[in-house]
Amino acid sequence: MAEVRAAGGTIGYVRVAFTENDWSAIPHTNKTFSGVAAAKMMHHEENATQIDSRIAPQDGDIVVRKVRFGAVSTTALHEQLRNRGIDTLILSGVSTSGGVLSTLIDTADRDYRVFVLTDAVADPNPDVHRILIDEVFPSRAHLIDTTQLPEPLKPA
């Protein structure tokens, strides 16, 4: 993260966390999130939904709270990025088939230049992870690993 900041980049944090209003707004027809709402999972005040203190946001970073897979559809992330003139995103995440995929598709549709850090994404299903990295992501994003991180930090 220090390298990104030193190059003038902005770090964005996206956390999954729900409030009572979020849970009540999820319709029973939503196969994924109706179960989350019914179980009152991932409350926004729980420690598990907070950003780890070892990588705590600093002044100037973007922090959003999401209530769906993608980082854009239920947050103000797109507006914050556009307001700062940001047109290039470097994605990492813990769910290649969930948050990373959803965010990649949404941001590619919004014409961002997108990079995925292939060694900084993971998925519980290694086969799905491999198919996404090898077959799906290359048509939507630039794939790099963390050793190549300086490249997208250069002006386009």
Residues 113, 50 share a domain: no
Residue 43 DSSP one-character state? B
pLDDT of residue 39: 92
Residues 130, 101 share a domain: yes
How many residues comprise the chain?
156
Residues 142, 83 share a domain: yes
84-101 pLDDT tens trace: 999 999 999 999 999 999
Quickly tell me which residue has 């980049």 as its tokens: 9
Would 4 be classed as within a structural domain?
A: no
68-86 pLDDT tens trace: 999 999 999 999 999 999 9
Structural domains of the chain, count: 2
Would 86 be classed as within a structural domain?
A: yes
Would 97 be classed as within a structural domain?
A: yes
Rounded mean pLDDT, 31-48? 92
Closest CA to 10 of 87, 94, 121, 105: 87
Would 10 be classed as within a structural domain?
A: no
pLDDT of residue 17: 95
Residues 118, 91 share a domain: yes
Three-point CA angle 16, 22, 25, nearest 5°: 135
Residues 129, 87 share a domain: yes
Residues 105, 34 share a domain: no
Q: In the numeric block, which tokens belong to residue 118?
A: 């292939």
pLDDT of residue 156: 64
Residues 57, 83 share a domain: no
3-state SS assignment for residue 4: helix
Q: Cα(first)–Cα(last) distance of the chain, in Å?
A: 20
Rounded mean pLDDT, 7-30? 94
Would you say the C-alpha torsion 16, 31, 76, 99 has a positive or negative sign?
positive
Q: Compute, in degrees rounded to 10, the torsion defined by CA atoms 31, 95, 138, 92.
A: 140
Give CA–CA dist 118/106, Å, rounded: 18
pTM, entire model: 0.91
| 150 vs 96 pLDDT, higher one | 96
Residue 121 structural domain: 68-147
Percent of residues, the chain, with pLDDT higher than 70: 99
Q: Is the pLDDT of residue 10 over 90?
A: yes
The pLDDT confidence band at residue 2, using thresholds 50, 70 and 90, is confident
pLDDT of residue 150: 78
CATH number at residue 93: 3.40.50.850
Please provide the average confidence, as pLDDT, over all residues in the chain.
94
Residues 76, 39 share a domain: no
Q: In the numeric block, which tokens belong to residue 27?
A: 């319709």
